[in-house]
Amino acid sequence: MKPKILSILILVTIIFLSGFFLRAGNYNVSSPSKDIYYDDTGLQYFQESDSYYNYRLTNNLLYHGQLGDTMIGGRSWDLHSYYPPGVPVDYPPLLSYITVGVYFILNLVTSMSLKEVCLWLPVILGPLAGVVGFLFSRRISSDFGGFITGMLIVTAPLYVFKTEFGFFDTDMLNITFPLLIIWFLFEAENAKTRKNKMLLAGCSGFFLFLFSLAWNGWIYFFYIIITAFIYFLIKEKDFDLVLSFLLVSVCLIGLFNSFGLYNLIMTPLYYLNYFLLGHNIWYPWPDSYKNVAELQTPTIETFITVSSPLTLIFGLIGLATIIYSKDANIKPLTRFIIIIWVISSILFVFAGARFVILLIPPLSVLAGIFWQKFENTLKNTLKSIHKYKIIIALQLVVFCVIFLQLFLLFNIKSGFEPMYDDYFMEASHWIDSNTSNDTVIITDWSYGHFFASEAHRPVVFDGRLAYIETLPIREYWYDHSLDLEIPTTARDYWIALALTTDNYTLSRNIFRMLATSGDNSYLLLNTYTHNKTQSAKILQKVLSVDRESAYSILKENGFSDKEAERLLDYTHPKTSRPFVIVIKDDMHISGTSNTNHPRKVIIYKIINSTILEWNGKSPYSIIQNGTENFIDKKSNFSIIITGNKSLVVDKNYRYALIIKFLTNGNIGDFIKVFENKKIKIYTIVS
């Protein structure tokens, strides 16, 4: 074997194994109570909720041949999410197809469950992005520049956390495909013959097609390339490359991913319209996406930490290098793609911390470019015969810094614990064994995917929230059976209101309405009032009282007998679908009684001891064993003592339903049917 090829193989192996072992660092949970993080088969629980969503869809594909639960109107439908009525499946299928393919291959030589494959797949696919980054970057810079790129990718903190053992989500593909796309465009731009140029550009287009099947956010990268193509055509007038790329990518997407093609066309127009109008796209309901942690704009400290200081320093210097220095190795198209890739990714970071991951590949490539430029400068500047020793010494320093980052991350990751444990699984098994198949689960959206997967029951609301990805194309994607208004964030509002109000009739009616008719009452009201705000206000008034009083309210608002009865069949159904309410012992839910007001935290702290004051301040009141003692009328919080636990709550919400649930109270028609150390399950007496 030639020394050059051998050195490349060695570097590829180092990059892959570094990424592999780093991601496997949480395979053995180091917690003293580690046993609760493994199920009855000895498998660790997934790290977070989205993994259970992906696992459920992949399980459907393996055993039913489709991502959804059934076919309705020629489309695959998911009857476990946003139920009723469920939703047509819009999710990119590539991860599920890859997983099922790997499952079949592995089971030719060994025996592995689908869940076990899902646990390990990110550990394998995650480091491949570093390998691709190395192979591409070395073509621009050098082997060591490529090595820097590969190692920075596989050790980037956010990417490590998103592709660790048990994190079964599409992030494991979201760096690899953009790198493959730009790599093949680079090769096409540098091809010696017209045939090779068109072939390589077509391969790049094929990888864009695969990317469209891997992540709904692929559209942003497509428009980066289109922008670069416009610049490239003006500068170079090379139609062979551009047309080959577009012909392959657009044709394949149109043939095999019509959802993606619709999105490609409609998404920019849709969001541009709303950005220009500048109002809440979920009006009149609050925007639930503002409460998602990873969609908050990161602080500077968080941004630097999750992207890696070394990546930022080397990458930004590399950006300046390709802007101000004309390098023959980087031709105009590749140069412009990298520049606008970085700039657009920085802008996306303001939309949420999760988008920092978009910056990792271009900055890592730029880091390799910077290093090559730095080495060349040293070679041309230093006169000493020892200049190559100096360069090798500097390479060792960079190597050590990267591996220091790796070891620090490994130590952090080895302490990671899955989000779920035996207590959650025990609750899901109870639901599966003790409720009818048509029972609906109502819980905080962050736990929805887990219970839909493991309790095998539909959930009212889950981590897909309002399916924002489908907004631009619902008019083209939905058939007549589904209203364009749904999914919406209204359910998040109603669940929060039901749990935070002290009007238990309102709570009961909200839960019965959501479980039985979903959004139908609000949608029907809209057809009568043609005023979304008025419909929301009327609906809340109607739900606050019993059916007879609700009828009177509707009549007072000008509804006919027929209209009122039809609405009441949705808001106060005579027979409701069975449902359970799942409450976690430290559920910090926030709420509001008005769709126009921001939600506020109502539980400030849950303390595993009995306290009489908090943060050195006296409470407004102390509630214990059903008795309330008033302490300081100027205080804004109350303390509720139950057993050896104290809840510090907003005094205005001290009688909220969620507080009653957390303090083991049966209230009105609500009864507790299950409890373990972490989870309580309630239902209502019909």
Lowest mean pLDDT among 142-151, 156-165, 677-686: 677-686
Looking at the structure, tell me whether residues 325 and 471 fall in a common domain. Answer: no
What domain range includes position 8? Answer: 3-30+94-413
| 579-584 vs 590-591, strand pairing mode | unpaired
Distances (CA, A) of 291 to 288, 297, 657, 661: 6, 11, 21, 23
Same domain, 593 and 641: yes
Is residue 444 in some structural domain? yes
Give the up-direction half-sphere exposure of residue 277: CA atoms within 13 A in the CB hemisphere: 10
Q: Considering just the CA atoms, what is the radius of gyration of the chain in Å?
A: 28
Residues 601 and 573 in one domain: no
Of 383 and 340, more confident? 340
Comparing CA positions, the residue from 607, 599, 617, 610 lying closest to residue 653 is 599
Q: How confident is the model at residue 10 (pLDDT cuts 50, 70, 90)?
A: very high
Residue 3 has pLDDT above 60, yes or no: yes
Same domain, 169 and 141: yes
**Final residue in a domain of this structure, among 413, 437, 459:** 413
pLDDT given at position 277:
62
In the block, which residue shows the tokens 């066309």? Answer: 265
pLDDT band at 666 (very low <50, low <70, confident <90, very high): confident
Which of the four pLDDT bands, split at 50, 70 and 90, describes residue 126?
very high
Which amino acid, one-letter code, is at 675?
Answer: E
Question: Does the reported pTM lie above 0.85?
Answer: yes
User: How far are the Cα atoms of 130, 440, 522 from residue 517, in angstroms, in the given order?
Assistant: 48, 11, 10
How many domains are there within the chain? 3
Mean pLDDT score, 406-417: 89
pLDDT confidence of 442, banded at 50, 70, 90?
very high
Say which residue the tokens 């820097």 belong to. 148
8 A C-beta contact, residue 472 and residue 269: yes
352: burial class by Cβ within 10 Å (0-12, 13-18, 19+)?
Answer: middle
Residue 161 lies in a domain: yes
| Same domain as 591, residue 563 | no
Token output for 23: 């991601």
**Averaged pLDDT for residues 202-216:** 98
Q: Does residue 117 share a domain with residue 101?
A: yes
Q: 19 exposed, middle or buried (CB, 10 Å; 0-12, 13-18, 19+)?
A: buried
At which of 553, 578, 603 does a domain end? 578
Predicted confidence at residue 11, as pLDDT, reads: 97
Q: Is 236 among the domain residues?
A: yes
The residue out of 532, 563, 578 marking a domain boundary is 578
Residue-wise pLDDT for 49-96, tens only, equals 999 999 999 999 999 999 999 999 889 999 999 999 999 999 999 999
637 within 8 A of 650, measured Cβ to Cβ: yes
Domain annotation covers residue 519: yes
pLDDT at 597 over 60: no
Check whether residue 123 and residue 145 sit in a common domain.
Answer: yes
Q: Is the pLDDT of residue 593 over 60?
A: no
User: Whole-number mean pLDDT of the chain?
Assistant: 93
Residues 209 and 261 in one domain: yes
Mean pLDDT of 261-283: 79
pLDDT value of residue 275: 63
450 and 513 inside one domain: yes
pLDDT, residue 382, reads 82
The pLDDT value recorded for residue 602 is: 86
202 within a domain of the structure (yes/no): yes
- 151 vs 383, which has greater pLDDT? 151
Task: Measure the CA–CA gap between 569 and 516, rounded to whole angstroms.
Answer: 10
Say whether both 369 and 441 belong to one domain.
no
Residue 601 pLDDT greater than 90, yes or no:
no
Q: Quote the strand ranges of 12-122, DSSP E.
A: 70-72, 75-78, 87-88
| Long-range CB contacts for residues 17-20, cutoff 8 Å, separation at least 24 | 17/127, 18/127, 18/130, 18/151, 18/154, 18/155, 18/403, 18/406, 19/126, 19/127, 19/130, 19/153, 19/154, 19/155, 20/123, 20/124, 20/127
pLDDT in tens, 153-207: 999 999 999 999 999 999 999 999 999 999 999 999 999 999 999 999 999 999 9
Of the listed ranges 6-10, 124-128, 292-296, the least confidently predicted one is 292-296
pLDDT, one tens digit per residue, over 510-537 is: 999 999 999 999 999 999 999 999 999 9
Asked if residue 259 lies in contact with residue 473, where contact means CB atoms within 8 angstroms, the answer is yes
Regarding whether 645 and 586 lie in a shared domain, the answer is: yes
| Residue 181 resides in a domain | yes
The answer on pLDDT for 276 being more than 80 is no
Cβ atoms 78, 467 nearer than 8 A:
no
Residue in 465, 569, 472 with CA at minimum distance from that of residue 520? 569
Rounded to whole angstroms, the Cα distance separating 195 from 241 reads 10
pLDDT in tens, 608-628: 899 999 999 999 999 998 899
At 595, the pLDDT band (50, 70, 90 cuts) reads low
Categorize the per-residue pLDDT at 668 as very low, low, confident or very high, splitting at 50, 70 and 90. Answer: confident
Poorest-confidence range of 275-279, 427-431, 444-448, 530-534?
275-279
Rounded alpha-carbon distances, angstroms, from residue 649 to 444, 605, 652, 655: 18, 7, 8, 10
Average pLDDT over residues 553-581: 96
Are 26 and 119 in contact, with CB atoms under 8 Å apart? Answer: no
Residue 545 placed within a domain = yes
Query: In the numeric block, which tokens belong to residue 230?
Result: 């416009």
Percent of the chain with pLDDT over 70: 97
pLDDT band at 379 (very low <50, low <70, confident <90, very high): confident
Handedness of CA 294, 148, 206, 163 (dihedral sign): negative
Model pLDDT for residues 451-467, shown as the tens digit of each residue: 999 999 999 999 999 99
Within-domain flag for 50: no
Share of the chain above pLDDT 90, in %: 81
Residue 217's pLDDT is 93
- Same domain for 157 and 115: yes
